Amino acid sequence: MRRIRMNPRVDWRERCESVGLDFHTIDGEPYWDESAAYVFSLAQIEALEQVVEDVHAACLDCVDDIVRRGDYDCFALSRAAQAEIEASWRRGDPSLYGRFDFSWDGHGAPKLLEYNADTPTGLVEASVAQWHWQTEVRPGADQFNSIHERLLERWPAILLRGARVHFAALAEHGEDSATVRYLMDTAQQAGMRVRGLDLAAIGYARERREFVDDLGARIDHLFKLYPWEWMWQDEFATHIGTASTRFLEPPWKLLLSAKAILPLLWERHRGHPNLLPAAFSDTLGRPAVRKPKYAREGANISLHGADGSLIESPGPYAEVGHIWQSAAPLPCFDGRYPVIGAWVIGDNAAGIGIREDHSPITRNTSCFVPHCFE
Amino acid sequence: MGAGRREPGKACRGVIGVVALTAGTGRLPWSTVPSQGRAPLYAPADDVPKNVAETISWRSKVVMVVLVGGVCLIMLRHSPVYRDTYRTREDCERDWGHLATAERCYSHNNGGTWVWRGPSYEQGARPITRDASLRIGTDEVQRGGFGRSSARFSVSS
């Protein structure tokens, strides 16, 4: 794994926009950065692929264990949420996708930082934009990227062809809207009937006890790019258990998206080469990272160094408590700290996307840098 | 190497090209992403066969008009919307005077039964109908019950 400098395509903005990545620049700064690229070897990619599927299997095993024990204390969930999580797991409600974040420099074992199992984004850039970049800029190389093909395979595996699927996100979030548009497109290609709507436009018909769309039609399957922990806090939470709607991602994915899963994973798979020691209290020594149990975009994370140093990121997540995780310092290439986002479609490793930051904490302002392997 | 990667030279252009065909219809008009005047196609439009592209282009315009209209309705309809229910389609017709909007649906009221629903109306805006005594219930659709938690946080990860 190495970082190389590249000459951006002269018309890179237009090229990105032409493939659906129209949020390539955020607050005047490039979010899509093709002035560099990460290059892997085939052996490294094969190793990563295996790691992703191993860790995914460990995660499913952990969910099964939690549901069997019925112990949700560390997740701070309502009884209704617990019941829905259990029901969805026991029913075998399928998952569409997720994204692991790993710390890795190409040597040794990749270390799992967290699993964005519920509302992962960065999909358009990983699946489409970087694929076009590779075919145009480094056509002789290859890329760990079958995300698009896996999605097309996954939809008919989890829903009957012709099923009506609604897609909802918050209209004011541009990146989320783009992610939903892309997923909607893959579903349509896979033979589903799709309809998109603003999350706030979802209705509840009291007499029918159904969630309905903006036209009053029943919502059978809802892909929602909106975290489960917020769903359970919203006014309609009381109807989730009685309505017939099936959700993507399913409720059990909340367990994996919460940072509280990290200590549980470590307890159940202690010594796993791709897991970091994690605990619910400050017992791990230094260096260690303190993370909120529920958080996004690198918010409210504090990195406690072995030398007593402290790096903190601001944010609004501090209500439900924290977990501690031994630090796996991100590698540093040319002064940038990359995180490898590894995509899982269904149960299969499907590709990676890399985001890098000047800081060792990856945030929503971190750049997406394309990759290839040779 | 497993199946988790694309093989060099196995162009996905054909596959991605198909995305381009549907991207027009898939685009949600509620997006606030600056599109700079172009649809967010997932592949160059050059990949689209001409005859199909023309069909989709026409279809996209229709879908856009419908969905933009829908968005306007959504913005107006975060207050509850009501639909009266009737025992039979004939009762619904007798009250409202037409059949076009009568829909059969399952009601959980009174132990659960199939009923017919009339047109929708907003609170305080029910028109005077021929015989409102025929209705056996009112189905209320509430909106805005998801999304409020986002006010405190950002969404994606």
Per residue in A317-341, pLDDT (tens digit) is 666 789 999 999 899 999 999 999 9
- Collect all residues with Cβ–Cβ distance below 8 Å to A73 and sequence separation of at least 6: none
The answer to whether the CB of B40 falls within 8 A of the CB of B19 is no
Q: Give dist(CA B78, CA A203) in Å, integer.
A: 9
pLDDT tens digits along A200-226: 999 999 888 999 998 888 999 999 999
The answer to whether the CB of A284 falls within 8 A of the CB of A325 is yes
Lowest mean pLDDT among A54-68, A108-122, A125-139, B42-56: B42-56
The answer to whether the CB of B23 falls within 8 A of the CB of B39 is yes
Phi-psi region of A18 (alpha: psi -120 to 50; beta: other; left: phi over 0): alpha
Closest CA to B69 of A92, A30, A214, A281: A214
> Cα(first)–Cα(last) distance of chain B, in Å?
29
Say which of A118, A202, A208 has its CB closest to residue B107: A208
Residue A138 with chain B: CB contacts under 8 Å:
none
pLDDT at B112 over 70: yes
Q: Give dist(CA A363, CA A359) in Å, integer.
A: 9
Cross-chain residue pair B156–A179, CB shorter than 8 Å: yes
pLDDT at A137 over 80: yes
| The residue to which tokens 């189905």 are assigned | B139
The confidence score (pLDDT) of residue A314 equals 73
Q: Which residue does chain A place closest to B121, by CA atoms? A: A216
- ipTM entry: 0.90
Residue B12 with chain A: CB contacts under 8 Å:
131, 148-149
The confidence score (pLDDT) of residue A295 equals 77
Full strand arrangement of the beta sheet holding A111-116: A111-116, A97-103, A337-345, A348-357, A367-369
> Cα(first)–Cα(last) distance of chain A, in Å?
10
The DSSP element (H or E) to which A205 belongs, if any, is strand A203-205
Please provide the DSSP assignment of A29-57 as one string: EESB--SEEEEE-HHHHHHHHHHHHHHHH
Residue A23 with chain B: CB contacts under 8 Å:
33
Question: Which tokens sit at A369?
Answer: 């840098």
Lowest mean pLDDT among A296-300, A349-353, B11-15, B105-109: B11-15
Chains A, B: CB contacts under 8 A, how many? 245
Q: Give dist(CA A105, CA A341) in Å, integer.
A: 13
Question: Which tokens sit at B3?
Answer: 């199946």
Cross-chain residue pair A189–B70, CB shorter than 8 Å: no
Rg of the Cα atoms in chain A: 20
Query: Pick the residue with more confidence: B109 or A223?
Result: A223
The confidence score (pLDDT) of residue B134 equals 95
Cross-chain residue pair A177–B140, CB shorter than 8 Å: no
Is B27 an 8 Å CB contact of chain A?
yes
Q: How confident is the model at residue B27 (pLDDT cuts 50, 70, 90)?
A: very low
Q: Give how far Cα A347 sits from Cα of A58, A59, A64, A98, A165, Å.
A: 11, 11, 15, 9, 21
Rg of the Cα atoms in chain B: 23
Residue A317 with chain B: CB contacts under 8 Å:
153
Collapsed DSSP state (helix, strand, coil) of residue A319: coil
pLDDT tens digits along A69-87: 999 999 999 999 999 999 9
Q: How confident is the model at residue A312 (pLDDT cuts 50, 70, 90)?
A: confident
The answer to whether the CB of B24 falls within 8 A of the CB of B60 is yes
What percentage of residues in chain A have a pLDDT greater than 90? 89
Residue B21 has φ and ψ, to the nearest 5°, of -65, -35
Please provide the DSSP assignment of B128-151 as one string: P-S-GGGEEEEEEEEE--SSGGGG
Say which of B33, B73, B146 has its CB closest to residue A174: B33
Closest CA to A240 of A231, A249, A248: A231
Is B110 an 8 Å CB contact of chain A?
no
Residue A18 with chain B: CB contacts under 8 Å:
38, 41, 43-44
pLDDT at A276 over 70: yes
Lowest mean pLDDT among A195-199, B44-48, B70-74, B113-117: B44-48
Tell me the shortest Cα–Cα distance from A74 to chain B, in angstroms: 21
Full strand arrangement of the beta sheet holding A371-373: A2-5, A36-40, A371-373
Q: Give how far Cα B148 sits from Cα of A199, A298, B155, Å.
A: 10, 22, 11
The confidence score (pLDDT) of residue B78 equals 62
pLDDT at B32 over 80: no
Q: How confident is the model at residue B154 (pLDDT cuts 50, 70, 90)?
A: low
Query: Pick the residue with more confidence: B7 or A20?
Result: A20
Say which of B7, B42, B108 has its CB closest to residue A20: B42
Residue B13 with chain A: CB contacts under 8 Å:
135
Q: Which residue does chain A place closest to B76, by CA atoms? A: A201
The confidence score (pLDDT) of residue B113 equals 87
Strands A193-198 and A164-169: parallel
Residue A169 C-beta-side C-alpha neighbours within 13 Å: 28
The answer to whether the CB of A162 falls within 8 A of the CB of B19 is no
Identify the residue among A9, A52, A170, A247 best suited for mutation to test binding to B, counting B beta carbons within 10 A and taking the highest: A170
pLDDT at B12 over 50: no
The confidence score (pLDDT) of residue B30 equals 26
The confidence score (pLDDT) of residue A16 equals 96
pTM to 2 decimal places: 0.83
Tell me the shortest Cα–Cα distance from A1 to chain B, in angstroms: 17
| Largest distance between two CA atoms of chain B | 72
Question: Which tokens sit at B102?
Answer: 């009568």
Please provide the DSSP assignment of A151-187 as one string: HHHHHHHHS-TT-EEEEEE-TT-HHHHHHHHHHHHHH
Tell me the shortest Cα–Cα distance from B128 to chain A, in angstroms: 22
The confidence score (pLDDT) of residue B157 equals 56
Collapsed DSSP state (helix, strand, coil) of residue A280: coil
The number of helices, as runs of H, and strands, as runs of E, in chain A is 11, 21
Query: Pick the residue with more confidence: A30 or A320?
Result: A30
Beta-bridge partners for A116: A99
Beta-bridge partners for A5: A36
Q: How confident is the model at residue A259 (pLDDT cuts 50, 70, 90)?
A: very high
Cross-chain residue pair B4–A144, CB shorter than 8 Å: yes
Is B74 an 8 Å CB contact of chain A?
yes
Tell me the shortest Cα–Cα distance from A160 to chain B, in angstroms: 20
pLDDT tens digits along B56-101: 333 333 333 333 333 334 444 467 889 999 999 999 999 998 766 7
Say which of B33, B44, B142 has its CB closest to residue A204: B142
Cross-chain residue pair B33–A178, CB shorter than 8 Å: yes
Tell me the mean pLDDT in the region A111-126.
96
Cross-chain residue pair B149–A200, CB shorter than 8 Å: no
The answer to whether the CB of A204 falls within 8 A of the CB of A236 is yes
Question: Which tokens sit at A88?
Answer: 């969805």
Burial of A107 (0-12, 13-18, 19+ CB in 10 A): exposed
Cross-chain residue pair A226–B74, CB shorter than 8 Å: no
Per-range mean pLDDT, top range of A133-137, A360-364, B4-8: A133-137
Q: How confident is the model at residue A364 (pLDDT cuts 50, 70, 90)?
A: confident
Q: Which residue does chain B place closest to A170, by CA atoms? A: B147
What percentage of residues in chain B have a pLDDT greater than 70? 45
Q: How confident is the model at residue B106 (pLDDT cuts 50, 70, 90)?
A: confident
- CA angle (B101 as vertex; B98, B106 as ends), nearest 5: 125
The confidence score (pLDDT) of residue B107 equals 83
The confidence score (pLDDT) of residue B101 equals 75
